[in-house]
């Protein structure tokens, strides 16, 4: 854009100056100018500001000078951010999160907590309140006009009480849950922990600290996923809970909450031992885990017994000191790298 002054002569011989706001564009091999506005009637102070704005582009100082002028009736207003909230909300609808949380005030607040964490992952609760005031969250998500950090804290118990229902609804919206498939029959489970800086938490206890931080209470977290790695359930336990004691919760979740039958659960040897194996079989499930018997046998193998390519090594019976026996096998028929 540019400002052009066009001189013309009237019938009485008087000269006139027209001030035009124009825009040039190329049409074929010719450059054509298009008049966007006639600025002839503007006062000199306003015309000089417009000329400066056109010459300097989107210069904030020029725009502020226009607004702060004593003769200006204009005002600056920052529009609410729209794009990020709209995109994340659409993804949440496609994933079934909006339907799972519901249309209550608590559900809408929980939805904003999800969206805010996606938009800005390190956002804390007070930051969520501030972000909501600068974007179109109220209009797009339909949440209440004003809410505070206390409202978000109070929303925690509401989510906790409805966790099983929410996870069940999300499970029903997964593509693989609509019809049987091999991917649906395999589930992975493991635990981790996270420590607290404070002391006042219902689940915080001293326990095995995976973060190697001494003197801090922690909470144990269990994650259950399907074969594609899609999370289907999250569980929290006191910080002093043994990994083995968390496994029965997952068996119950899969059997009673998700209505699964004849599935296979996968866990490491610290997660699925003899009691857990019996519990899994009692529920009509299968399991895959690392056998401690194989580990003990492998440790005793002399170096002159290497595993050869395309060979099968079987451990039929491993006698223990108490007279009992363990049966397991190990197949190495597939190619082993480096051999």
Contact in structure between 279 and 202 (CB atoms under 8 Å): no
> What was the pLDDT predicted at 72?
63
Residue 222 phi, psi (nearest 5): -110, 135
Highest mean pLDDT among 30-34, 61-65, 242-246: 242-246
Number of H helices, E strands in the chain: 12, 10
How many C-alpha atoms does 215 have within 13 Å on its Cβ side?
0
Confidence of residue 332 (pLDDT cuts 50, 70, 90): very low
Secondary structure of residue 336 in the 3-state scheme: coil
Please check the confidence at residue 182 and state whether its pLDDT lies above 80.
Answer: no
Query: CA distances (Å), 21 to each of 2, 42, 43, 170, 262, in order?
Result: 6, 12, 15, 56, 75
Q: pLDDT tens-digit profile of 102-117?
A: 999 999 999 999 999 9
Provide the residue ranges of all domains of the chain, joining segments of one domain with +. 2-68, 83-166, 181-290, 302-330
| Alpha-carbon separation of residue 233 from 39, 171, 236, 267 (angstroms) | 65, 9, 10, 15
The answer to whether 226 and 232 have CB atoms below 8 angstroms apart is yes
Strands (E), the chain: 2-9, 15-27, 30-38, 186-195, 218-226, 231-238, 264-266, 286-288, 313-319, 325-330
pLDDT at 44 over 90: no
Predicted confidence (pLDDT) per residue in 183-219, tens digit: 568 999 999 999 888 778 888 899 888 888 888 999 9
**Domain 181-290's class?**
alpha beta
> What's the rounded Cα separation, in Å, for the pair 264 and 255?
12
Average pLDDT estimate for 137-164? 88
Higher per-residue pLDDT: 18 or 337: 18
What gap in Å lies between CA 185 and CA 228, rounded to an integer?
11
In this structure, the number of other CB atoms found within 10 A of the CB of residue 254 comes to: 23
Predicted structure pTM score: 0.62
The stretch 174-188 carries a mean pLDDT of 65
């Amino acid at each position: 854009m540019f400002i052009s002054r066009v001189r013309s002569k009237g019938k009485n011989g008087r000269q006139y100056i027209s001030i035009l706001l124009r825009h040039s564009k190329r049409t074929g091999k010719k450059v054509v100018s298009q008049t966007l506005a006639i600025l002839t009637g503007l006062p000199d102070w306003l015309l000089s500001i417009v000329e400066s704005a056109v010459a300097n582009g989107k210069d904030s100082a020029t725009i502020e000078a226009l607004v702060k002028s004593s003769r200006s009736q204009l005002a600056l207003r920052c529009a609410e951010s729209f794009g990020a909230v709209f995109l994340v909300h659409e993804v949440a609808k496609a994933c079934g999160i909006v339907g799972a949380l519901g249309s209550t005030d608590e559900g809408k607040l929980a939805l904003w907590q999800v969206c805010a964490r996606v938009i800005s992952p390190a956002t804390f609760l007070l930051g969520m309140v501030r972000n909501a005031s600068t974007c179109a969250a109220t209009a797009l998500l339909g949440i209440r006009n004003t809410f505070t950090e206390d409202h978000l804290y109070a929303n925690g118990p509401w989510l906790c009480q409805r966790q099983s229902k929410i996870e069940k609804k999300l499970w029903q919206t997964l593509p693989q849950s609509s019809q049987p498939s091999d991917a649906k029959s395999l589930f992975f489970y493991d635990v981790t922990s996270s420590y607290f800086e404070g002391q006042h938490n219902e689940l915080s206890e001293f326990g095995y600290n995976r973060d190697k931080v001494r003197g801090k209470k922690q909470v144990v977290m269990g994650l259950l996923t399907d074969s594609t790695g899609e999370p289907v359930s999250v569980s929290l336990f006191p910080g002093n809970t043994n990994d083995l004691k968390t496994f029965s919760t997952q068996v119950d979740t899969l059997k009673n909450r998700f209505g699964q039958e004849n599935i296979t659960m996968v866990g490491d040897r610290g997660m699925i031992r003899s009691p857990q194996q019996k519990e899994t079989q009692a529920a009509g499930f299968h399991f895959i885990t690392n056998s401690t018997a194989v580990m003990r046998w492998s440790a005793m193998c002399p170096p002159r017994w290497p595993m050869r390519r395309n060979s099968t090594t079987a451990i039929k019976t491993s006698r223990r000191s108490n007279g009992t026996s363990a049966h397991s096998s190990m197949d190495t028929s597939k190619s082993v790298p480096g051999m």
